[in-house]
Amino acid sequence: MSDHPTFVLKGGRVVDARGERLADVVVADGVVRAVGVDLSADRVLDASGCIVAPGLVDVHTHLREPGREEAETVETGARGAALGGYTAILAMPNTTPAIDSAAVVNQVLELGRTAPCDVYTSGAITVDRAGEQLAPMAEMAALGVRVFTDDGAGVQDNRLMRRAMEYATGLGVTLAQHCEDDALCGGGHMHEGEWSARLGIAGQPAEAEELMVMRDIALARLTGCRIHFQHLSTARSVAMVRDAVAAGLPVTAEATPHHFTLTHAECASYDPVFKVNPPLRTEADVAAVRAGLTDGTITAIATDHAPHTPESKELPFDQAPPGMLGLETALALALTELALPLPVLLGAMSWNPAKVAGVDDVHGRPVAEGEPANLCVIDPEITWTVRADAMASRSRNSPYEGRELKGRVRHTILAGEPVVIAGEPQR
Ligand SMILES: [Zn+2]
């Protein structure tokens, strides 16, 4: 990283966990060299009118490699992440094969080594994410894996989940849960409610999520294990997490942009681009997720970036796979749709998820002298129109096609190297 020239991010407003101030930021040799007024360097990256913040961190990214490289690769996913302002992403383990062993962990980390964003990976809780026997978490933890999840599915068996939590507590790692009771979901393809009834599409009730949230809070109390709830989507889930946090349990939660911007009414189009798990819910649920972000019950915004090829998303609604693109729209959706103070919004997209992922020694750091230069520069006023075919992803399944959003990343700096300049990828 020392071969990158010294440069200054000029004329921006720094926003980090310490607060806000007008300042130039000089970067050299991979670190922030100076923060102050009227600083200069050989090279200038214009940050006027912009926010200079720690790079964003996504704790929920599906990279599809190994196994479904036609939908996404580590490289294309990471490029989209960099364009979206992310300097770190946490890969989900539902690849083929699943990321459930040291060998596959190493494979993904190796693929990420040249990516324009730091690629971390989660590990599966159970072998092949099948929910039957515990995966070798210790050997994965030894490679630096800090979060384990069977994402794409929840761990159904209560006793196995208890054992996983006891094991994880001993290893000092976090378990993340995709809360969904398989039996209760029973082949549902959208939220069970007035729209599923009207459209004649089999639904899955909110209770399928809520029962697992309830169980895992109980098991966190029993075991002391840190549990992170992924893509929280219902009002009662948010309420249960709020109570658990107030009770001092080691519980955190994330919400996705689609769960705070879209409702089940979108499914009236029968367009599978709106099919996702957990499903789009009611207006009251959307309001509750927003309230959870506002009051700090939900500390992280995560993309659940889930690329699928056009062929698979052109299937009928009940046959298409669930999932939506997210990396290149998450920040703009948060800026456009949420009335959160900037330090709260950026906390939810950078330093809070950095803690969840266990990467807060390098990411989500204050913008201060000597800190690693993982940064993003955001133009909060620019408006732009979402075009999936202009994204870095190999897939096109954005539910926001054609939507006008406010706020976009201008530059992204990874370990002192500008990997995005003026919205253009540099590698
Ligand atoms: Zn999930």
Say how many Å lie between the CA of residue 127 and the centre of ligand 1.
17
Instruction: For domain 7-51+369-425, give the fold.
Output: Urease, subunit C; domain 1 (2.30.40)
Say how many Å lie between the CA of residue 166 and the centre of ligand 1.
22
Q: What is the pLDDT of residue 244?
A: 98
Q: How far apart are CA 277 and CA 66, in angstroms?
A: 21
* 3 band by pLDDT with thresholds 50, 70 and 90: low
Task: Look at residue 1 and tell me whether its pLDDT is greater than 70.
Answer: no
* 5 band by pLDDT with thresholds 50, 70 and 90: confident
Say how many Å lie between the CA of residue 175 and the centre of ligand 1.
13
Give the residue-averaged pLDDT of 220-226: 98
Start-to-end C-alpha separation, the chain? 14
Give the residue-averaged pLDDT of 373-400: 97
Instruction: For domain 55-357, give the fold.
Output: TIM Barrel (3.20.20)
Does an H or E element contain 112, and which?
helix 102-112
Q: What is the pTM of this model?
A: 0.97
Mind listing the pLDDT tens digit for each residue in 140-183?
A: 999 999 999 999 999 999 999 999 999 999 999 999 999 999 99
Give the residue-averaged pLDDT of 56-67: 97
Number of H helices, E strands in the chain: 14, 21
Mind listing the pLDDT tens digit for each residue in 177-203?
A: 999 999 999 889 999 999 999 999 999
In this structure, what token pair is assigned to residue 390?
Answer: 């202009």
Mind listing the pLDDT tens digit for each residue in 66-88?
A: 999 999 999 999 999 999 999 99
Give the residue-averaged pLDDT of 387-401: 96
Question: Domain residues of the chain, as ranges?
Answer: 7-51+369-425, 55-357
Cβ-based neighbours of 184, under 8 Å, separated by 6 or more:
204, 205, 207, 208, 211
Catalytic residue among 24, 304, 360, 379: 304
The CB density around residue 373, as the number of other CB atoms within 10 Å, is 28
Mind listing the pLDDT tens digit for each residue in 291-312?
A: 999 999 999 999 999 999 999 9
Does an H or E element contain 194, and which?
helix 194-199
Does an H or E element contain 67, and which?
none
Q: How far apart are CA 168 and CA 164, in angstroms?
A: 6
Say how many Å lie between the CA of residue 13 and the centre of ligand 1.
35
Mind listing the pLDDT tens digit for each residue in 254-295?
A: 999 999 999 999 999 999 999 999 999 999 999 999 999 999
Q: Do domains 7-51+369-425 and 55-357 have the same CATH topology?
A: no
Say how many Å lie between the CA of residue 305 and the centre of ligand 1.
10
Are 206 and 285 in contact by the 8 Å Cβ rule? The answer is yes
Task: Look at residue 132 and tell me whether its pLDDT is greater than 60.
Answer: yes
Q: What is the pLDDT of residue 334?
A: 98
Q: How far apart are CA 154 and CA 211, in angstroms?
A: 11
Q: How far apart are CA 225 and CA 228, in angstroms?
A: 10
Say how many Å lie between the CA of residue 95 and the centre of ligand 1.
13
DSSP assignment of 293-313 equals HHHTSS-EE---B----HHHH
Q: What is the pLDDT of residue 427?
A: 84
Say how many Å lie between the CA of residue 10 and the centre of ligand 1.
39
Active site residue 3: no
Mind listing the pLDDT tens digit for each residue in 403-413?
A: 999 999 999 99
Mind listing the pLDDT tens digit for each residue in 105-125?
A: 999 999 999 999 999 999 999
Q: Which residue from 273, 274, 305, 278 is spatially nearest to 289, judged by alpha carbons? A: 278
- Average pLDDT taken over every residue of the chain: 97
Say how many Å lie between the CA of residue 29 and the centre of ligand 1.
38
Q: How far apart are CA 364 and CA 270, in angstroms?
A: 39
Say how many Å lie between the CA of residue 186 and the centre of ligand 1.
17
Cβ-based neighbours of 71, under 8 Å, separated by 6 or more:
64, 307, 308, 309, 312, 394, 395
Say how many Å lie between the CA of residue 192 and the centre of ligand 1.
18
Say how many Å lie between the CA of residue 244 and the centre of ligand 1.
21
Helix axes of 283-295 and 235-246: crossing angle, nearest 10 degrees: 20
Say how many Å lie between the CA of residue 9 and the centre of ligand 1.
37
**Locate tokens 């390098």: which residue?**
362
